[in-house]
């Protein structure tokens, strides 16, 4: 596996590449152009800028998270042709800087959602929390306003101002789209881009829906073993793959993550490793070790190891600890601890296997 760390890009991340490169066992960063509206081309110069910044710090950038999908593609609108062309143009420019994996999601309107960005834990740290009751009693607009107030002026990925401007109207458009039609829209998109992914040697890795349950009346697609199978069947190319996010799928107790990893091992190109702890009303994101949360992290990492996973992995959301202030879920310290925990398990498995 190749260990990576998410960096939000120049001017977008309070954590510097100089600090990131000091994390042990790191191969590279996963980054994006956060402020780029979905549907626009990432120009050659912008892509070169990414490479210059990351390589300048002595790191590699081979994964992009995310190139967002414009709503017109998800809605199957007449305008989608030109927008997909732009997506392909972006893929070409990213191939030129050596990108091997593009992570994206196909969630309607919103990316991940939580009720609280900074929920206090008894040890004095704080973390993101999902309270079902809170979410069921709020509106998307109220939640967006709460995020804006809590996030200290930073754009949160998936909750960018551009996307939020017309949030309720956009959600309204999904009322007329059946679930089958939504899947067809995904197939249409894949059939256009996957031939290019093959030509450019870029693996497309869709991210699961987070949380895996419907929210604000919006349906879900990538939230279970059966639906992952259906999605991979929409286009059978090995370039149509997934990001395995333990916290997103793991928030549904019916999902057996090690089993999902073993089943789709040959189509997983990126892994997000995070733990969570269930509460009566939902879950909060815990530190990575098994004993800190509800997911069996050892079994998860072992499933990756045993299937010979040789792609990209990163610690996902951690808590804010030691007084750190930063992007919710994306502090330096707890994620760096996550890396040492994951690489510790990996080394143990290798050594027990008689490998050096
Ligand atoms: C949450 C992330 C997601 C992910 C997107 C990919 O923190 O895992 O925002 O980057 O869903 O498109």
Q: Residue 28 in contact with residue 337, Cβ under 8 Å?
A: no
Could you identify the atom of ligand 1 that is nearest to the CA of residue 68? 12
Q: Looking at residue 164, what is its pLDDT? A: 77
**The CA-based dihedral angle spanning residues 75, 80, 86, 87, taken in that order and rounded to the nearest 10 degrees:** 40
From residue 195, how far is each of 189, 203, 238 by CA, in Å?
11, 11, 11
| Ligand 1 geometric centre to CA of 248 (Å) | 10
Q: pLDDT tens, 241-270?
A: 999 999 999 999 999 999 999 999 999 999
From residue 260, how far is each of 225, 266, 267, 288 by CA, in Å?
6, 11, 11, 19
Q: Looking at residue 99, what is its pLDDT? A: 98
Q: Looking at residue 7, what is its pLDDT? A: 97
Could you identify the atom of ligand 1 that is nearest to the CA of residue 272? 8
What one-character DSSP code corresponds to residue 307?
T
Number of neighbouring beta carbons within 10 Å of residue 169 = 8
> Both tokens of residue 331?
């502090």
| Ligand 1 geometric centre to CA of 169 (Å) | 23
The protein residue with its alpha carbon nearest to ligand 1, atom 12, reads: 104
Class of domain 2-108+178-275+297-317+326-352: alpha beta
Q: Is 65 in the pocket of ligand 1 (CB under 6 A)?
A: yes
What one-character DSSP code corresponds to residue 282?
E
Could you identify the atom of ligand 1 that is nearest to the CA of residue 107? 11
Phi, then psi, of 177 in degrees rounded to 5: -105, 120
Please, which pLDDT band fits residue 26 given cuts at 50, 70 and 90? very high
Contacts of 113-120 with C-beta under 8 Å, sequence gap 24+, read 113/143, 113/210, 113/211, 113/215, 114/328, 115/143, 115/282, 117/147, 117/150, 117/151, 117/328, 118/150, 118/320, 118/328, 119/284
Q: Is 32 in the pocket of ligand 1 (CB under 6 A)?
A: no
Residue 204: closest CA among 271, 111, 270, 272: 270
The protein residue with its alpha carbon nearest to ligand 1, atom 6, reads: 104
The rounded percent of the chain whose pLDDT value lies above 90 is: 86
Q: Is 111 in the pocket of ligand 1 (CB under 6 A)?
A: yes
Phi, then psi, of 136 in degrees rounded to 5: -70, -20
Q: pLDDT tens, 133-189?
A: 999 999 988 888 888 888 777 778 778 777 777 888 889 999 889 999 999 999 999
The protein residue with its alpha carbon nearest to ligand 1, atom 2, reads: 112
Q: How many helices (H) and strands (E) does the chain have?
A: 14, 12
Q: How many CA atoms lie within 13 A of 226 on its CB side?
A: 2
C-alpha to C-alpha distance for 13 and 154, rounded to whole angstroms: 9
Q: Is 106 in the pocket of ligand 1 (CB under 6 A)?
A: no
C-alpha to C-alpha distance for 109 and 221, rounded to whole angstroms: 13
**The CA-based dihedral angle spanning residues 12, 15, 20, 23, taken in that order and rounded to the nearest 10 degrees:** -140
Angle between helices 80-96 and 44-56 (to 10 degrees): 40
C-alpha to C-alpha distance for 263 and 255, rounded to whole angstroms: 12
Q: Is 272 in the pocket of ligand 1 (CB under 6 A)?
A: yes
Which residues make Cβ contacts (< 8 Å) with residue 36, sequence separation at least 6? 42, 46
Residues annotated catalytic, as ranges: 207, 245, 272, 316-317, 330
| Ligand 1 geometric centre to CA of 104 (Å) | 7
pLDDT surpasses 90 at 331: yes
Q: Residue 335 in contact with residue 326, Cβ under 8 Å?
A: no
| Ligand 1 geometric centre to CA of 207 (Å) | 7
**The CA-based dihedral angle spanning residues 267, 271, 272, 273, taken in that order and rounded to the nearest 10 degrees:** 120
Q: Looking at residue 279, what is its pLDDT? A: 97
The rounded percent of the chain whose pLDDT value lies above 70 is: 100
Q: Is 182 in the pocket of ligand 1 (CB under 6 A)?
A: no
SS3 2: strand
Please, which pLDDT band fits residue 102 given cuts at 50, 70 and 90? very high
Average pLDDT for the chain = 95
């Amino acid at each position: 596996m190749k260990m990576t760390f998410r960096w939000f890009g120049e001017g977008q991340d309070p954590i510097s590449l100089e600090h990131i490169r000091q994390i042990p066992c790191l191969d590279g960063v996963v980054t994006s152009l956060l402020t780029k509206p979905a549907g626009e081309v990432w120009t050659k110069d912008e892509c070169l800028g990414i490479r210059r910044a990351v390589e300048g710090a002595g790191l590699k950038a081979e994964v992009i998270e995310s190139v967002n999908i414009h709503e017109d593609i998800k809605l199957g609108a007449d305008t989608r042709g030109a927008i997909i062309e732009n997506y392909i143009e972006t893929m070409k420019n990213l191939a030129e800087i050596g990108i091997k994996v593009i992570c994206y999601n196909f969630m309607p309107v919103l990316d991940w959602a939580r009720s609280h960005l900074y929920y206090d834990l008894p040890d004095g740290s704080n973390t993101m929390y999902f309270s079902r009751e809170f979410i069921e009693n709020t509106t998307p607009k109220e939640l967006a306003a709460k995020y804006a107030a809590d996030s200290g002026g930073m754009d949160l990925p998936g909750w960018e101002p551009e996307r939020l401007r017309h949030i309720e109207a956009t959600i309204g458009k999904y009322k007329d789209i059946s679930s089958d039609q939504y899947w067809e829209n995904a197939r249409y998109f894949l059939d256009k881009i996957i031939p290019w992914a093959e030509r450019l040697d870029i693996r497309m890795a869709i991210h699961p829906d987070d949380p895996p349950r419907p929210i604000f009346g919006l349906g879900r697609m990538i939230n279970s073993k059966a639906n992952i199978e259906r999605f991979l069947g929409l286009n059978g190319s090995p370039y149509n793959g997934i990001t395995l996010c333990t916290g997103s799928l793991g928030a549904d107790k019916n999902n057996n993550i090690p089993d999902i990893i073993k089943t789709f091992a040959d189509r997983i190109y990126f892994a997000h490793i995070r733990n969570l702890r269930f509460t009566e009303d939902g879950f909060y994101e815990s530190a990575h070790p098994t004993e800190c949360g509800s997911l069996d992290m050892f079994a998860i990492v072992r499933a990756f190891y045993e299937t010979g996973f040789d792609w990209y992995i990163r610690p996902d959301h951690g808590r804010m600890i030691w007084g750190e202030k930063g992007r919710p879920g994306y502090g330096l310290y707890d994620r760096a601890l996550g890396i040492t925990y994951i690489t510790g398990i990996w080394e143990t498995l290798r050594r027990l296997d008689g490998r050096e």
